Amino acid sequence: MSVTVRIPTPLRPFTDQSAVVAIDGDTVGQILERLAARFAALRPHLFAPDGSLRQFINVYVNDRDVRSLERERTRVQPTDTVSIVPSVAGGAATSDAGAPIAPPLSHDEVKRYSRHLIMPEVGVEGQQRLKAARILCVGAGGLGSPAATYLAAAGVGTLGLVDFDVVDVSNLQRQILYGTPDVGRPKLEAAAERLTALNPEVRVVLHETRLTSANALQIFADYDVIVDGADNFPTRYLVNDACVLLGKPNAYGSIFRFDGQASVFAAKNGPCYRCLYPEPPPPGLVPSCAEGGVLGVLPGIVGTIQATEAIKIVLGMGETLAGRLLLFDALTMEFRTMKLERDPACPVCGDRPTIRALIDYEQFCGIGPDASPGTGPGGGMGADAEISVDELKARLDRREPVWILDVREPNEFSICRIPGSTLIPLASLAQRLAEVPSGPDAPEIVVHCKSGVRSAKAAALLRQHGYTRVKNLAGGILAWIGRVDPSQPTY
C-alpha cells in the first residue's frame, strides 16, 4: 500500500525537489528505508552511519510524533501522511502572577492602544500587563526584527535585545528594523532608534554581546518571556536550557527557504526544544540561511507568530503553542500543527534531569575547538586538506593542472563563478562521480562553494570514494571575490 510522505524544503534537493512522495510500506521504518533506497543522497540526512534514525530528524504520522507511538515500528495506513521534520533550529501558559502591575495608562497611551483597550480579551488591565511585561528578543535579525517591532507597537513596557552584529546590505531583504542608511551601523544602535521612534513609551534595553553560557542566566533573569530568534544551533540549545533552568517560557521560531517552525517551549509541564530535537545535526549537514537562502517575507510571518505567542503568555489568554509544533510551508501556503510531548527522559526538563547548569554549546554542537575529530563539516580533515584562494590563484597563474569543482546550486553559479570551474551541486555529486576526473593522471581537485561548508562535505565524500588529491577552498567563492576578483558581485 502507498503512503504519502511529505518532504520539507531542506531535504528536497535530495528528492529531486519533490515535496510529496508516495512510498509503499506497512511501518514507518519500512517507509523511511524505501524512501532512502529511492533517493540515495537522502540517506545520510535520515540515518546515522550505524543505521539508526538521526535524532535531529523527527517523524510524524498525521499529527503524532512516532516517538510517542511505536517509533519506527509504528504501523501506517494508506490514508496516513508521514511528515519528516528536521531541525532548522499544551495548554495556555500564564504570566508571572508576581509581576509588577504598571501604573495607570496615560491619556496618550489610552489613545495609542485604543484598539487593544476596546477588545474585551485585553482591555485596560491587559494593556497594563503588557506595560509591566519584560520580554527579551535573542537576535535582532530576520526573526527578531518583526517580533521586536510588533512587541514595541503592542506596548510591551521593557523590550530587551541581544545581538552583537552590524547591519549588512544583505540583511535588508528581510530584516525590517533597518534601512539602507543603517548599513555598517551596530544593529542594536539602529534597532533602538527605530523602536523608540515607533513607540517612545517602551524602554529598550540593549545587550550588545554574544550570548554565552557565562552570561545567559544573568541576562535572562530580568525578563518574563524569551523570544528565540537565533540563527545557529549552539545558541538555540543555550536559549532552551537557560529558559528551562530559569522557568522562562521560550517563544521559538526558525526559518529556512520557504519553511517555518514555531512553538512555545519551557512552559509549565510542557516540552522543551530538546524534547523535539535531542541532539543537533553534525556541523554543515543543515545549511544556514546564508548558505541555503530564505524567502524575505518568511521571517516576517514566523516572527509575528512568535510575538503573538509572547503577548498571549503575558496576557494569560488563549491557547499557546506549548505542546504543539506549528509548521508553515510558504510554497503551498499551508499551516500544519503537530503534537509535541515532553520527554520524561529529557536531560534538561525530564523527570530526572542530568543537565543542571549551562554547558559548552559549541562543543556540544561539534564546532568548538575541543570538538571530537570527525564532527566538523569536513569530517575531521586537517589544515593540509584546504587551499587558500591566494595559493589557488598562484597555481592557476603557473598553469598547473587543477580541476575546480563548484558544488553550489545553479542559481548561485549564475551570480558569480571562478573561471574554468565545473558545476555539480552537492545534492547530486554522489550520483555524478563519473564526471569527476580520476586515475593516476587526473589533476588535483579543488572543491568550493559559497563559504566552504558544503565544499568540505563534498571533499569528504570524494575521499570516501577513493579520491586522494582533493582540497577544499577555504572561504569559498566569497574569499575568492574578496581577495582575487572583486569585479564579481557577492551574495
Question: Strand 225-228 to strand 250-256: parallel, antiparallel, or no bridges (unpaired)?
Answer: parallel
d(CA 206, CA 197): 16
Q: Please report how the helices 298-315 and 144-154 are oriented relative to each other, as an axis angle in degrees rounded to 10.
A: 40
Q: Give CA–CA dist 192/202, Å, rounded.
A: 10
All structural domains of the chain with their residue ranges? 2-86, 133-364, 383-483
pLDDT for residue 248? 97
20: which strand partners? 6
Nearest to 142 by CA among 8, 287, 264, 257: 257
Q: Is this model's pTM higher than 0.75 or not?
A: yes
Please tell me the total number of residues recorded for the chain in this structure.
491
CA dist., res. 86 & res. 55, Å (int) = 9
Please identify which residue in the block is written with the cell numbers 507511538. 69
Catalytic residue among 289, 349, 365, 416: 289
The residue among 275, 466, 238, 186 whose CA lies nearest residue 365 is 238
CB atoms within 10 A of CB 124: 13
CATH for 2-86, options being 1.10.8.640, 3.10.620.30, 3.10.20.30, 3.40.50.150: 3.10.20.30
Q: Taking Cα atoms as reference points, which of 276, 248, 246, 280 lies closest to residue 262? A: 276
User: Tens digit of pLDDT per residue, the chain (491 long)?
Assistant: 789 999 988 888 889 889 899 999 999 999 999 999 999 889 988 998 888 999 889 999 998 999 889 999 999 999 999 999 988 753 334 344 345 566 789 999 999 999 999 999 999 999 999 999 999 999 999 999 999 999 999 999 999 999 999 999 999 999 999 999 999 999 999 999 999 999 999 999 999 999 999 999 999 999 999 999 999 999 999 999 999 999 999 999 999 999 999 999 999 999 999 999 999 988 767 777 777 889 999 999 999 999 999 999 999 999 999 999 999 999 999 999 999 999 999 999 999 999 999 999 999 998 755 444 343 444 444 556 899 999 999 999 999 999 999 999 999 999 999 999 999 999 999 999 999 999 989 999 999 999 998 999 999 999 999 999 999 999 999 999 999 999 999 99
Query: 445: phi > 0 → left, psi -120 to 50 → alpha, else beta; which?
Result: beta
| pLDDT at residue 390 in the model | 96
CA-based torsion, 67, 72, 74, 78: positive or negative? positive
Q: How far, rounded to the nearest angstrom, does the alpha carbon of residue 423 sit from its chain's CA centroid?
A: 27
pLDDT value at residue 367:
77
**The three grid cell numbers given for residue 21, joined into one nine-digit string:** 512522495
Q: What is the pLDDT of residue 377?
A: 40
Are 331 and 257 contacting, i.e. CB atoms less than 8 angstroms apart?
A: no
CA–CA separation, 421 and 356 (whole Å): 51
Determine contact, residues 15/39, Cβ cutoff 8 Å: yes
pLDDT of residue 461: 93
Whether residue 243 lies in the annotated active site:
no
Record the cell numbers describing residue 140, joined without a space. Answer: 535582532
Give the Cα separation of 455 and 470 in Å (integer): 11
Instruction: Write the single-letter amino acid at 487.
Output: S
Q: Identify whether 416 is a catalytic site residue.
A: no
First to last CA, the chain: 45
Q: For the domain covering 383-483, report its CATH number.
A: 3.40.250.10
Residue 366's pLDDT is 85
Residue 285 is predicted with a pLDDT of 72
| C-alpha to C-alpha distance for 70 and 57, rounded to whole angstroms | 16
* Nearest-angstrom CA–CA distance, 478 and 460: 21
Which cell is 10 given?
531542506
d(CA 177, CA 139): 12
137, 346, 416, 449: which one is catalytic?
Answer: 449
Contact 85, 61 (CB under 8 A): no
Q: What is the pLDDT of residue 55?
A: 85
CATH class for domain 133-364?
Answer: alpha beta
Which pLDDT value is given to residue 265?
97
Are β-strands 250-256 and 259-265 bridged in parallel, bridged antiparallel, or unpaired? antiparallel
Encode the chain in three state secondary structure. Answer: CEEEEECCHHHHHHCCCCCEEEEECCEHHHHHHHHHHHCHHHHHHHECCCCCECCCEEEEECCEEHHHCCHHHCECCCCCEEEEEECCCCCCCCCCCCCCCCCCCCHHHHHHCHHHHCCCCCHHHHHHHHHHCEEEEECCCCCHHHHHHHHHHHCCCEEEEECCCECCHHHHHCCCCCCHHHCCCEHHHHHHHHHHHHCCCCEEEEECCCCCCCCHHHHHCCCCEEEECCCCHHHHHHHHHHHHHHCCCEEEEEEEECEEEEEEECCCCCCCHHHHCCCCCCCCCCCCHHHHCECCCHHHHHHHHHHHHHHHHHHCCCCCCECEEEEEECCCCEEEEEECCCCCCCCCCCCCCCCCCCCCHHHHCCCCCCCCCCCCCCCCCCHHHEECHHHHHHHHHCCCCEEEEECCCHHHHCCCCCCCCEECCHHHHHHHHHHCCCCCCCCEEEEECCCCHHHHHHHHHHHHCCCCCEEEECCHHHHHHHHCCCCCCCC
Residue 371 is predicted with a pLDDT of 46
Rounded-to-integer distance, Cα 325 and Cα 248, Å: 18
Instruction: Give CA–CA dist 349/355, Å, rounded.
Output: 9
